[in-house]
Structure 1
Amino acid sequence: MASKLSLNTSELFIFIFLAAALASAELSPTFYDNSCPSALRIIQSTVRAAISKERRMGASLLRLHFHDCFVNGCDGSILLDDTPSFTGEKTAGPNNNSLRGFDVVDSIKSNVEASCPQVVSCADILAVAARDSVVALGGPSWTVLLGRRDATTASFSQANTDIPAPTLDLSALISAFSKKGLSTKDMISLAGAHTIGQARCTTFRSRIYNESNINTSFSSFQQNKCPLSNGDDNLSPLDEISPNYFDNFYYKNLLNKRGLLHSDQQLYSGGSTDSQVLSYAYNLSKFLSDFSVAIVNMGNISPLTGTDGEIRINCRRTN
């Protein structure tokens, strides 16, 4: 009897292990090949049209995917508007008056729904739009794994605690990414997304006025854009050299102490991550290759699959 019980317990553990492995393997690059073969083409064309009107939109769509994945996983929760039953993530500190591109996602969803009603998730749209945005701005392509489903709720509190703040020191940044199952290498690679886009004055004011690990001419120039008082929403490029092109100048800027955010310059400040920053600054292809791997890893953070969640008809609200 004891032997039989031991065998059943072992079988149970094996079953649990296999179930977990299958769950993590449910995402597939061919997920919509039969159910909505036009999905990827529609997303790509809508993204390209939006970026052709405003180059900055590429960075905004990429950032939506990042902020979505860091709160309860890549589940489209970032797109939900507030309801009487929960407060969404849009008004959380890292997102409020900062995230943009929701209207572009609405257009993508509307176009996809017209071709394949209630088949393609909003979470998958964010993942594909991020890839297509990077490609449109001269960056690498990668194979997006698909099959995520959409959350039916959001987490205002987790958005406030789990999205890495621009004020974090290196150890806190490493911890924030590790909490999501991402390595330090992933973190430094993903930080390269700051080679495109802009930041608000309120996120870098303290650095340009108070920090010593900063190029003096750079800080003086930024102070003209970001006064000590007022101007919180004034914008400055995260990469002053080529803010609308996906390259490795972000890392080159760090070598010259011209990182805009405190968290950016922390990656090259005499610490354990300096060597990887140096590598990317002098080897564009290595950065692009590692970024492609890291963003796929990020896209695998706790997706809803199978029968979990839903496929929203409108990305702003549950069905």
Structure 2
Amino acid sequence: MAPPPHPPAILLLLRFLICSSILLLTESALTLDYYSVSCPRFAQIVQDAVTDKQITNPTTAAATLRVFFHDCFPNGCDGSVLLSPTPFNPSPERTSDINLSLPGDAFDLLVRAKTALELACPGVVSCSDILAEAARDLVTMVGGPYYPVYLGRRDSHISKASLVDPFLPRSNMTVSQLIDLFASRGFSVQEMVALLGAHTVGFSHCKEFATGIYDYSKSSSYDPSYNPRFAQGLQKACANYKQDSTVSVFNDIMSPNKFDNLYYQNLPKGLGLLASDRAIYIDPRTRPYVEAYAADQARFFRDFAAAIQKLSLYGIKTGRKGEIRRRCDAVN
């Protein structure tokens, strides 16, 4: 019997393309059960670390949420903000001016979670997945909404301060600047206002808003968009901020450790801490969303969950585009 004829070149090419596509899909797909076989206790290990740390340090939730945003928003959720300086990379993202004040509680939490996961399933779980899962667990733990976290991210090899400075929102930005910045990352005005609701927990250092409460103008020592009593209280609380850069104030003075919609309810009363907070109530493009979230916490929770889940998938690295770090603060 004669041997079967060799398949034509076009068929070989088609087979190659199909196999390549399957490989690409396998490498790039994030799933809710990504670690179900390779690290079945992943969710429980992260939850245990989160619970222990939040009970010991109640500011951990806000700290981790902030680090998560600062990791994802500039260049994608890839753990690049977690890398420490080295002689080969003396200026990673953590050294940029805006990231110098990132809270240590979040980094400590990630060290604890990563250590426990490496003992249970070494070389399997990425630091970027740990950060995404921990942020969600902490939002839920302090009263916020639950949302599914898709897993399978890889950690970046690259982290440069110069790549983040232009792409993170500042407390003194105008609403137009904020809208443009969020739009550059694919977020609508509504999604932006929902994400700013994360200010319902945590605190800000006095230097972030000092220009609004001291020597504001010839006619007023503080920005008139502040509630007068609130501004006077801030002046007293921050009186020593030039000598002590760690002096800070809660973003939401009504329920600082609870994830709720009081952040939005505070804004019409002049109780927004940062200039950008107060601005989104004043500007007609953002005010309708502020009013809607102030009136309906369920709507805020629903929109926040959708927006932060979208953020968690921004710019991710999968397959061969990244690595599974052995330590979260250093590339392998």
TM-score, L = length of structure 1: 0.91
The one-letter amino acid paired with 2:287 is D
Distance in 1, matches of 2:56 and 2:29, equals: 36
Task: Report what 2:305 is aligned to.
Answer: 292
Picking from 167, 175, 178, the partner of 1:173 is 178
Query: 1:70 is paired with a residue of what secondary structure?
Result: helix
Distance in 2, matches of 1:295 and 1:25, equals: 20
CA RMSD of aligned residues (A): 2.0
Task: Report what 1:89 is aligned to.
Answer: 93
The 8 Å contact of residues 27 and 319 in structure 2, kept in 1 or not, is answered as no
After superposition, what is the alpha-carbon deviation per residue over 1:171-227, rounded to whole angstroms, capped at 9, x for unaligned? 111111111112211111111110000110111111223222111111110110113
Matches within 5 A, 1:49-60: 49-60=52-63
Task: Report what 1:113 is aligned to.
Answer: 118
After superposition, what is the alpha-carbon deviation per residue over 1:23-50, rounded to whole angstroms, capped at 9, x for unaligned? 9972211111111111111101100110
Distance in 2, matches of 1:206 and 1:237, equals: 17
Task: Report what 1:47 is aligned to.
Answer: 50
Matches within 5 A, 1:1-319: 26-86=29-89, 87-100=91-104, 101-209=106-214, 210=216, 211-227=223-239, 229-319=242-332
Identity among equivalent positions (%) equals 38
After superposition, what is the alpha-carbon deviation per residue over 1:46-79, rounded to whole angstroms, capped at 9, x for unaligned? 0011000111111001111100002321000010
Q: Quickly say closer, same or farther: Cα 1:281–1:158, change in 2 above 3 A.
A: same
| Most deviating of 211-220 and 283-292 | 211-220
Shift of 1:98: 3.4
The 8 Å contact of residues 175 and 283 in structure 2, kept in 1 or not, is answered as no
Q: Which runs of 4+ in 1 moved over 4 A?
A: 21-25
The 8 Å contact of residues 226 and 232 in structure 1, kept in 2 or not, is answered as no
The 8 Å contact of residues 213 and 269 in structure 1, kept in 2 or not, is answered as no
Task: Report what 2:11 is aligned to.
Answer: none
Q: Quickly say closer, same or farther: Cα 1:261–1:23, change in 2 above 3 A.
A: farther
Q: Quickly say closer, same or farther: Cα 1:24–1:241, change in 2 above 3 A.
A: farther
Query: 1:166 is paired with a residue of what secondary structure?
Result: coil
List runs of 5+ in structure 2 lacking aligned partners.
1-13, 217-222
Q: Which has the larger radius of gyration?
A: 2
Distance in 1, matches of 2:74 and 2:283, equals: 30
Query: 2:74 is paired with a residue of what secondary structure?
Result: coil
| Most deviating of 24-33 and 114-123 | 24-33
| Most deviating of 263-272 and 278-287 | 263-272
The one-letter amino acid paired with 2:129 is D
Task: Report what 2:219 is aligned to.
Answer: none
The 8 Å contact of residues 71 and 162 in structure 1, kept in 2 or not, is answered as yes
The one-letter amino acid paired with 1:99 is P
Query: How many aligned positions are there?
Result: 304
Q: Quickly say closer, same or farther: Cα 1:229–1:307, change in 2 above 3 A.
A: closer
Distance in 2, matches of 1:24 and 1:271, equals: 44
The one-letter amino acid paired with 1:317 is A
The 8 Å contact of residues 36 and 119 in structure 1, kept in 2 or not, is answered as yes
Shift of 1:94: 1.1
| Most deviating of 155-164 and 304-313 | 155-164
Q: Quickly say closer, same or farther: Cα 1:203–1:24, change in 2 above 3 A.
A: farther
Shift of 1:270: 3.5
The 8 Å contact of residues 200 and 263 in structure 2, kept in 1 or not, is answered as yes
The 8 Å contact of residues 134 and 141 in structure 1, kept in 2 or not, is answered as yes
Query: 2:204 is paired with a residue of what secondary structure?
Result: strand
The 8 Å contact of residues 42 and 111 in structure 1, kept in 2 or not, is answered as yes
The one-letter amino acid paired with 1:241 is M
